[in-house]
């Protein structure tokens, strides 16, 4: 029997504590931006959301490799939940980014910005994951095709990132580099704590949904066992996302 709820309480406490510290740093420690003022503080929400979303897509692809190698449906379930959560974070990143753009640039979107456009392309790519998955009725084929899609789409994420970095024109505000070198010390610390808090939130939600799905599978298995039908098994080779 697979137990996903182990350590969930500790993870929740760590997440809540980190987010509280991050909020305190954002509002009481990080200085106001000289050009954008208070609205720049949405950076500490928007950028971590976007980064965690992209990492979540890659994470889902790596988990899908586990399914293709082992044919164990537990890996497929993990990949499915990882991509599902990454999509939610990605939508949050788009919304907060649009709010920031409206306040800074006077319009909600800029199609000439490669960073914005590339992120939207990645998000739309993974938005087709669930329609593709649930258009296939056979559970084994569904898991196999979804895993192949997840691996290929996840490989596109770092390639897309590299392409944007190599682009000649950058319209998007370059206030963050790979090493965080463009940020003052107080802003860098605030950003890193915010990023950690967002990553912990993603991990907590992923683990919580995995626990809930596995619990539903266990309940159905026990119910059918009482009726003399043991066709529903714990999360593993024959379990399907629900």
Is the pLDDT assigned to residue 94 strictly greater than 70? yes
Domain positions in the chain: 8-29+38-226
- Reported as a pLDDT band with limits 50, 70 and 90, residue 200 is very high
- Reported as a pLDDT band with limits 50, 70 and 90, residue 237 is very low
Is the pLDDT assigned to residue 199 strictly greater than 90? yes
Q: Could you report the per-residue pLDDT of 204-230, keeping only the tens digit for each? A: 999 999 988 888 877 877 877 777 655
In the prediction, which pLDDT does 238 show?
45
Is the pLDDT assigned to residue 44 strictly greater than 80? yes
Is the pLDDT assigned to residue 116 strictly greater than 70? yes
Across-strand partners of 33?
37
């Amino acid at each position: 029997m697979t137990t996903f709820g182990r350590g969930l309480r500790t993870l929740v406490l760590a997440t809540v504590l980190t987010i509280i510290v991050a909020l305190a740093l954002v509002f009481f420690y990080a200085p106001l931006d000289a050009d954008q003022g208070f609205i720049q503080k949405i950076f500490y929400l928007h950028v971590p959301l976007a980064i965690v979303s992209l990492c979540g897509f890659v994470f889902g692809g790596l988990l899908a490799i586990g399914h293709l190698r082992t044919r164990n449906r537990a890996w497929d379930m993990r990949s499915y939940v990882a991509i599902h959560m990454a999509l939610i974070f990605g939508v949050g990143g788009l919304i907060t980014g649009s709010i920031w753009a409206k306040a800074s640039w006077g319009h909600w979107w800029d199609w000439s910005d490669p960073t914005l456009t590339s992120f939207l392309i990645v998000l739309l790519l993974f938005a087709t994951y669930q329609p593709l998955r649930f258009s296939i009725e056979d559970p084994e084929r569904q898991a196999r095709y979804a895993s192949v899609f997840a691996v290929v789409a996840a490989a596109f994420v770092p390639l897309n990132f590299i392409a944007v970095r190599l682009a000649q024109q950058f319209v998007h505000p370059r206030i963050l580099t790979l090493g965080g070198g463009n940020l003052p010390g107080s802003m860098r610390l605030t950003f890193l704590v915010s990023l950690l808090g967002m990553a912990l939130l993603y991990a907590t939600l992923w683990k919580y949904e995995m626990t809930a799905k596995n619990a539903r599978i266990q309940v159905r298995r026990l119910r059918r066992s009482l009726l003399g039908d043991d066709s529903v098994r714990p999360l593993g080779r024959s379990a399907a996302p629900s």
